[in-house]
A and B are shown apart, each in its own frame.
Chain A
Amino acid sequence: MSIRDTLLANVTTSLSGSSVSVSSELPWNSGQRPLYEKNMKHFYLSEASLDITQNQITLDRNDVFQTETQLTAFVSVDAKNQPTDISTVISAVLNSKNSVSDQYIMECNGTTEIVEDRITYQFDYRFVKIN
Chain B
Amino acid sequence: MGYIAVNEEAEFVKLQIVANGNAYANANVAMAVTTDVMVVPAMQEITLNMTPGTFRWKQLDELSEQVVTTSSTNSLEATIVLDDESFFTGKGATTGIFNVTNNKTEAYFRMYWQGDSTGDRYVEGTGYLTGVAPTVSPDSPVWTSPLTIEISGDLVPGVV
Contacts and interface: CB of A to CB of B under 8 A. Distances in A.
Given A58-B44, A59-B12, 8 more contacts: A55-B142, A56-B42, A56-B44, A58-B42, A59-B45, A60-B13, A60-B14, A62-B81
A55 B140 contact: yes
A130 interface: yes
B119 interface: no
Nearest to A64: B142
Contacts of B6: 59
- Interface of A (DSSP majority class): loop
Contact of B46 (A56, A59, A61, A64): A59
B44 A57 contact: yes
Sorted from nearest, which 10 A-B pairs have the closest CB atoms? A62-B42, A58-B42, A104-B141, A60-B12, A59-B43, A56-B81, A64-B142, A59-B13, A62-B41, A58-B44
A80 B138 CA distance: 42
18 contacts: A55-B142, A56-B81, A56-B142, A58-B42, A58-B43, A58-B81, A59-B6, A59-B12, A59-B43, A59-B46, A60-B12, A60-B14, A60-B43, A62-B81, A64-B42, A64-B81, A64-B142, A104-B141
A60 B140 contact: no
Interface in A34-93: 55-62, 64
Interface of B: 6, 9, 12-14, 41-46, 81, 83, 138, 140-142, 144
Interface residues on A, range: 10 to 19
B111 to A, nearest CB: 11
Contacts, number: 40
A59 B9 contact: no
Contacts of B46: 59
A106 B86 CA distance: 32
Interface string A103-128: 01000000000000000000000000
